[in-house]
Amino acid sequence: MKIQIDNFGPIRRFECDLDKDLHLILGTNNIGKSYAITVVYLLLKSFMEAGEEFDPFEDMKYVMGAGMDNELFDHMVEQMGEENPDIKKAAVDRTFALLKKGFLKQFQRHFDGTYGSIDAVGNRFSGEEPIIRLLFHEFDIDIGTDRNAFKLTQMNIRMDLESIYKGIVGKFEQISGDLLAARFAKLGHGMEEHGEFTMKYSIAARMFYGHILSEVLKRIHAILYLPASRSGLYPTLSTFGQIFAELAKSRSFLKGGIELPGIAVPVSDYFLELSQIDPNKKREQDDPIQRIAKDIENDILNGKVEFDTKTRKLFYTPDDAGGLRLDMDATSSMVSEVSPIVSFLRHVVSKPARLSKEAQEAGITPKHLLFIEEPEAHLHPENQVRLMAAFAALANAGVKVMITTHSDFLFNKLNNLILEKSIDTAAVSAMLFKQTDEGGEAVPLAMDDLGIEDENFIDATERLYDEKVDLIDRMNRDGDDGDAE
């Protein structure tokens, strides 16, 4: 699955391949890196929420329910038209309606909560409207804009819908044929008329919509966003801790959607996730994710991170400090930057996905996806290197990681990990945003077994080196002139 974003804020074009496990996104400031991963996050969040609401038999329940009128059927027949309708066109029309009601409605809500208006994110350079393309193996979905709202503009399908339709209809007839016939008779429809085909195809289209959702959900189990400036955000937002401590007493209330007003959705989600952590009490010592969290504590933090279930806040206990326990706002900026990563790994990411029996039998293993902005912030270069090793270990342990960074230490450590074959290049994506006349364009960096081509840091490094050589030459010349006098 790939996501392509065009003409969004400072972005001319960005594309990411979600089948990759470790994403490194590079580029200068204010070129579109945060915009890119925010949109990806909002899209995936919307798909997941649509998946939670999805009921494959909603149309059938609608028919079977008492008091049903003929509106649904008449609408479908009007859409399909001919006696032998075009299966593909009918599928696209019906699936468009389902995508709009489910996925797109959620995305629009999260977009509004983050950016406020489409006018605010049009291409700053060309003035063009945003376009988003969702690229799958068997189909593509295009999303454009209409005034101040997103709309589905096109769906390209490369799969055999006739076969899908026949297969679903076969199963459908086995479980509901007689019931459906009786229901249509009650409504005054003959099964030889348009009713039977219409209803069966409606179910088939809903199943195709479910297939679209599953193409996302079988890859991504859950998403977590760690924004930039975590050390500054947490002390500010932690003032809500007591509020959520009280709300946590009512689990059913917390299952509803909660957002902090006036705060971008990813940032709101970040703090809500931290505040609503359900501590993982069944920690397996041989769990690779638990080991990685422990390694970060030992090698970078030199202390332990705890989540207090009463205050709903994080605390840090330094090693060899006689039991001293510090609130995050009393720790160093390095500790408050890295501690949320440890907490998420230990209590959220380490919990396995709850899969249906069918998914387990099919061998589906969806993964967590961590979005982390500028993980190098407030870290000494030695700790940046250690953190990059932890990210690579996470990718190898089945956790997807998407990073935006300005750190050549992260970049060079990843190259060394590739060189020593600690991570496969097939699992890695490295994108560099380059400035063009129409905005920032993300281009893939060349990669092989020796690492990733450096088109980002090398120029600045060479300029600094040349500047140093020039200054030394000038100093030597000035010294020679002084000696001559």
Which domains, and CATH codes, for the chain?
1-219+424-454 (no CATH), 220-423 (3.40.50)
Count Cβ atoms below 10 Å from residue 191 Cβ, excluding itself: 16
One digit per residue, the tens of pLDDT, for the chain of length 485 reads 999 999 999 999 999 999 999 999 999 999 999 999 999 999 999 999 999 988 766 655 544 443 334 444 454 445 444 444 555 566 678 788 899 999 999 999 999 999 988 988 988 788 899 999 999 998 899 999 998 899 999 988 877 666 665 655 555 555 455 555 555 555 444 444 445 555 666 666 777 888 899 999 999 989 999 998 776 666 666 666 555 545 544 444 444 555 655 688 998 899 888 888 888 777 666 799 999 999 999 999 999 999 988 888 899 999 988 889 998 888 999 999 999 999 999 999 988 777 666 666 677 789 999 999 999 999 999 999 999 999 999 999 999 999 999 999 999 999 999 999 999 999 999 999 999 999 999 999 999 999 999 988 888 888 998 999 999 999 998 876 665 55
94 HSE (CA, 13 A, CB side): 30
Count Cβ atoms below 10 Å from residue 130 Cβ, excluding itself: 21
CA distances from 220 to 340, 349, 367 (A): 21, 12, 5
| CB-based contact 24:411 (threshold 8 Å) | yes
Quote the pTM value. 0.85
b/e map of 220-241 (b: 16 or more CB within 10 Å)?
bbbbbbbbbebbebbeebbeeb
303 beta partners:
318
User: What is residue 127's predicted lDDT score, i.e. its pLDDT?
Assistant: 84
CA distance 393 to 324: 30
| CB-based contact 240:312 (threshold 8 Å) | no
Nearest to 292 by CA among 416, 395, 412: 395
CA distances from 374 to 7, 24, 26, 82, 407 (A): 23, 11, 10, 56, 8
* Residue position matching structure tokens 């049009």: 122
CA distance 271 to 313: 10
Contacting residues for 148 by C-beta, under 8 A, at least 6 apart: 117, 118, 119
User: What is residue 84's predicted lDDT score, i.e. its pLDDT?
Assistant: 47
- Tokens encoding 290: 């638990």
Length of the chain: 485
